[in-house]
Amino acid sequence: MDKFLNLFSISESQKEEMLEGKVEFSKTISQISSASRKSSKNDKCLYCGEHTTSYCNSHSIPASFLKNIAEEGKLLTQAGLIDLPLLKPSSGVNQAGTFYIICRDCDSKIFTDYENKSNYDGEVTQKILAQIVMKNYLKTISQRAFEISFHEHMGEDVGIDFSSINNIKDIDLKENVRGFNRAKKVDAKCVQEEYHLFFYEKLNYVVPIAFQHQLTLAVDVEGNVVNNLYNHDTKYKMQHLHLAVFPLEETSVVMMFIDKNNARYRQFIRQFIRLPLEDKLALVNYMIFLYSEDFFLSPSLGEDVVNDEGLKLVSGSMGIAMVGRDSSVIVALKQNFDLSGFKGIPNLISSEHSVCQ
């Protein structure tokens, strides 16, 4: 049987060891992170190409959406669910999901369509989708550039060669740059039918979760492989799915869409469309916690939800498997990213957990 790494499964003794070395560890990581942030920054805005010395504090999810579920300016993070001592359990709205890669002028102009809540009252345009895609790629580009620089500095500090890991991350970085440039073109030239919006739902309540990112779906609802996440061949290209959950002032928006060329998702989309709405929302909810740590929750959530072991276990999954002798990479992939349990955790997108306004 394959063993899977899960942050929630860390023992109490391991947590105590983390706490004992937290001060020294935090100091070291802080120093390396600071150096990595400086060396990973370009001197040009990634959008306009102009030289800049001051980048905008861009949010991966619009701050105006985050404020709708915050309490006293605070939001619950993944660490608030899995109780990992080295991570912060909460984040202020101003610091939630931020990155620094474009100038202030561009940040104030290029996302205006998708950040305007009134634009979700009617048809969701290709410009809105393209702007969401641009933001998703920008966040990932910033993250990958930092990770590559971090590994280089860490390698120098501890004497470990991270070149093989960085080679993979560099390939992913270049793919994200290409995706960003395509989305930029779709937005600027109002190109039509480049993104396929296969799920859009306007809910008449405010959900206690905010999320916006791209996911690389490993398997579909029936367990068929969509992307082999364990295939690091440079010729094998991953295909992304864009997912957003926006809590507005009195309503919420949930959407999923893909690049029109991402044919691997056809079977998943057919499976998804056949589901009743309740199951669709539950599956979206499950995918967020299974695939990402970049979600933000309302502190108003009850203890029964925050302490739900099923939710903690799914959220703590690292997507890494140690394959046993009698198994294979594909078997491990299917087990690690199995979607069959999507009804087994609290569905934060359901009306049951809506935020009281």
Give me the chain's average pLDDT, please.
87
- Tokens 């309302």 correspond to 298
Residues 6+ apart with CB under 8 A from 247: 65, 68, 69, 206, 207, 208, 209, 210, 355
Task: Please determine, for residue 63, whether its predicted confidence score (pLDDT) is greater than 80.
Answer: yes
Radius of gyration of the chain (CA): 20
pLDDT class of 3 with cuts at 50, 70, 90: very low
Residue 335: CB atoms within 10 A of its CB come to 15
What CA–CA distance (Å, rounded) separates 59 from 98? Answer: 4
Question: How is residue 219 written in tokens?
Answer: 């398997």
pLDDT class of 7 with cuts at 50, 70, 90: very low
Q: H/E/C letters for each residue in 194-222?
A: CEEEEEEEEECCCCCEEEEEEECCCECCC
Query: 84-135 pLDDT, tens per residue?
Result: 666 677 889 999 998 989 999 999 999 999 999 999 998 999 999 999 999 9
What CA–CA distance (Å, rounded) separates 257 from 241? Answer: 6
227 lies in which domain range?
3-353
Residue 178's nearest CA partner among 240, 127, 231 is 240
Query: 250-294 pLDDT, tens per residue?
Result: 999 999 999 999 999 999 999 999 999 999 999 999 999 999 989
Q: DSSP characters for 297-354?
A: E-TTS-HHHHT-HHHHHHHHEEEEEE--TT--HHHHHHHHT--TTTTSS--TTSGGGP
Task: Please determine, for residue 13, whether its predicted confidence score (pLDDT) is greater than 80.
Answer: no
Query: 149-171 pLDDT, tens per residue?
Result: 888 887 777 777 778 888 888 88
Q: H/E/C letters for each residue in 59-101?
A: ECCCHHHHCCCCECCEEECCHHHHCCCCCCCEEEHHHCCEECC
Phi, psi (degrees; rounded to nearest 5) at 275: -75, 150
Residues 6+ apart with CB under 8 A from 149: 35, 36, 37, 39, 40
Q: What is the pTM of this model?
A: 0.88
Question: How is residue 228 written in tokens?
Answer: 């082999």
3-state secondary structure of 15: helix
What total of structural domains would you count in the chain? Answer: 1
What CA–CA distance (Å, rounded) separates 344 from 314? Answer: 10
